[in-house]
Structure 1
Amino acid sequence: MNQDLVLAIALPLTLFIMMFSMGANLSPGDFRTLWARPSSVLCGLVSQMLLLPVLAFLLLSGMSLPPEIMIGFMILALSPGGTTSNVFSYLVGGNLALSIALTAIVSLITPFSLPLVAGWIIDSRFAGDSEIALPFLSTVGKLTAVTLVPVTLGMILRHYRPALCERYEFWMTRIPFLMLLAVIGGIIAQNWARMPEFLALTAMPALLLASAALAAGYALARGLRRDRRDARTIAIETSIQNGGTAILVTGTILGNPAMTIAPVMYGILMLLPVMGYLAGLRLQARLGLAD
């Protein structure tokens, strides 16, 4: 498939369906976590929206990455709320209600926070380059159209047709994920000749950032006296990012294929530290140890 077609049509459609599916699994009751555990919700938001971008900037600035790769990673760090975070939060014995609440909240914030901060980063890294710019209002509009709008529509469907959403929950969550994998596969196929180069540039930074985010999220939560279940959830939510949103910004809005490589690689490699964490927790449980 032509890369322009993937980025212009397949990716926005996939992200729209993914966010609609997420909304169809949310209800107003999920937001009660805001009132039941406000400190944990605030801690999670700080970890996702502030700690991770700062961590990414400090970690990656010392790696002498090309500006396009650096910005790709930073846009990824500004795209919280990965669709698989809820699943992994459940698997590690975290607080699923907290995970769902955090995913819902950041989906409302990101369309506004991402273009604001990413625009500033691009201006500072590409000063004087008029071809690389992230217009704030049009970016907000596009992100709202493919994230906030479908989440809202999904929640409306959930409110009026809860039985329908529950009946098709399996397919509504699996199909969008498979679609995103297909989009990522299309991007990789179109850049196959340069994949060794891209892997050399992004594999180690992606693994380091995902691992550091996991550890930092957990450390922040425990440092603020959150219990282990909440800390595990916050760690997962900090490490797992919304690659679809990041690729939409880098590839579709900015139209810079080189910038898409960082979120594509992170979207694949971020699962390795999380799966390692899950394996470690299960081993600790067998040995009767506390994390």
Structure 2
Amino acid sequence: MSSTSPSSEPTTAPIGERIGRVAGTWFPLVVLVAGAIAIAVPQVFLPLGPWINVLLGVIMLGMGLTLQPVDFAVIAKKPKAFVIGVVAQYVVMPLAAIGLATLFQLPPALLVGVVLVGSAPGGTSSNVMVYLAKGDTALSVAMTTASTLLAPVLTPLLVLWLAGSYLPVDAWALFQSIILIVLLPVIAGVVLRLLLPKVVAAVLPWLPLVSVTGITLVVLAVVAGSAATILSVGLLVALVVILHNGVGYGLGFLAAKSVGLDTSAQRAVAIEVGMQNSGLAAGLARTHFSPEAALPAAIFSVWHNVSGALLASFWSRRPPKDAVADDAPEAVVS
């Protein structure tokens, strides 16, 4: 996925592109403030609850609009890196989720929520973080797309396996929801880009703003529905979320390093594994379990963008020796 490099002069860039960059840059702070407001006045945002899945569908449509056949060329060029990244995504994060939730003795609803986050596909904001970290952006995009397309099958099965003994899990209902929320919108986006390339090209610069707005509304809705729980067990859940995210970065990096991937690929795999589509997890938790189960996803949605930005900033000052010039990704923040 390529677009105008961030080094371009902002005064000459189209207004949509400039607004999109600002939205992406300030996204962690925007979501953090939104969460605080939702805790302070939850009743204002409770009506957003029924719209969570619709908002997620819009975000995933945006992801589909950014995809092109060239984005998958990296699979043929770096099959080992691609496989390691996708396998780690669906092994490290789900197992870390159940391990941490059990270790900290979370109640069933919160345990399921953590497992849902761990079993979700990669978050598309990871593509931006990998780019900023001077990692392999093409590899990151391919891994995000693959894990998203695998989600309708793997996410329900993992949740059933890991959390089914704590709460009833309807894997078939989860499968149907993910098809509607994720797969169909992504496919629609790809088709629209093929049929209406000029229209989509005009829309692309605005997608980060649309995505930031969408996920902010999702966080407002989820946090508002879980405000009472946040005030009682929020710190414990936040600790689990921070550890979960950190384990993902660490084990993702070690998995890539252990098989001899180059430095840029190691960074891509680490960030890709550590960052989840927490918006999807929140939507599934609220639809199939309870507002309380959506709490870990709401906190993760804020934290992984903050931690991802910090990690990207650290790595950006240490260019890998094998770095290759890369364009900024047309990623959708989630």
TM-score when normalising by structure 2: 0.78
- What is the CA–CA distance in structure 2 between the aligned matches of 1:289 and 1:104, rounded to whole Å? 27
Partner of 2:75: 34
Contact 1:7 1:252 in 2 (8 A): no
Q: Does 1:138 align with 2:173?
A: yes
By how many angstroms is 1:222 displaced?
0.8
By how many angstroms is 1:112 displaced?
1.1
Partner of 2:52: 11
Partner of 1:203: 238
Paired residues, what number?
Answer: 280
Superposed counterparts of 1:146-185, under 5 Å: 146-185=181-220
**CA 1:252–1:4 in 2, change beyond 3 Å: closer, same or farther?**
farther
Contact 2:226 2:294 in 1 (8 A): no
Superposed counterparts of 1:55-66, under 5 Å: 55-66=96-107
Partner of 2:10: none
**CA 1:120–1:3 in 2, change beyond 3 Å: closer, same or farther?**
farther
By how many angstroms is 1:283 displaced?
4.4
- What is the CA–CA distance in structure 2 between the aligned matches of 1:209 and 1:230, rounded to whole Å? 21
Q: Does 1:216 align with 2:216?
A: no
By how many angstroms is 1:45 displaced?
0.6
**CA 1:134–1:6 in 2, change beyond 3 Å: closer, same or farther?**
farther
Mean CA deviation greater in 10-19 or 177-186: 177-186
By how many angstroms is 1:201 displaced?
2.3
- What is the CA–CA distance in structure 1 between the aligned matches of 2:75 and 2:54, rounded to whole Å? 31
Percent of aligned pairs with the same amino acid: 24
The equivalent position to 1:107 in structure 2, one of 131, 148, 156, is 148
- What is the CA–CA distance in structure 1 between the aligned matches of 2:244 and 2:133, rounded to whole Å? 20
By how many angstroms is 1:75 displaced?
0.7
The equivalent position to 1:123 in structure 2, one of 164, 174, 178, is 164
Mean CA deviation greater in 99-108 or 157-166: 157-166
Partner of 2:293: 259
Contact 1:80 1:237 in 2 (8 A): no
Unaligned runs of 5+ in 1: 127-132
By how many angstroms is 1:242 displaced?
0.4
By how many angstroms is 1:4 displaced?
6.6
**CA 1:233–1:258 in 2, change beyond 3 Å: closer, same or farther?**
same
Partner of 1:236: 271
Cα deviation per residue 1:178-231 (whole Å; 9 max; x = unaligned)?
111122123323443443223222111111111121111111101111111111
Q: CA RMSD in A?
A: 2.1
TM-score when normalising by structure 1: 0.89
Mean CA deviation greater in 191-200 or 83-92: 191-200
Q: Does 1:50 align with 2:50?
A: no
Mean CA deviation greater in 25-34 or 257-266: 25-34
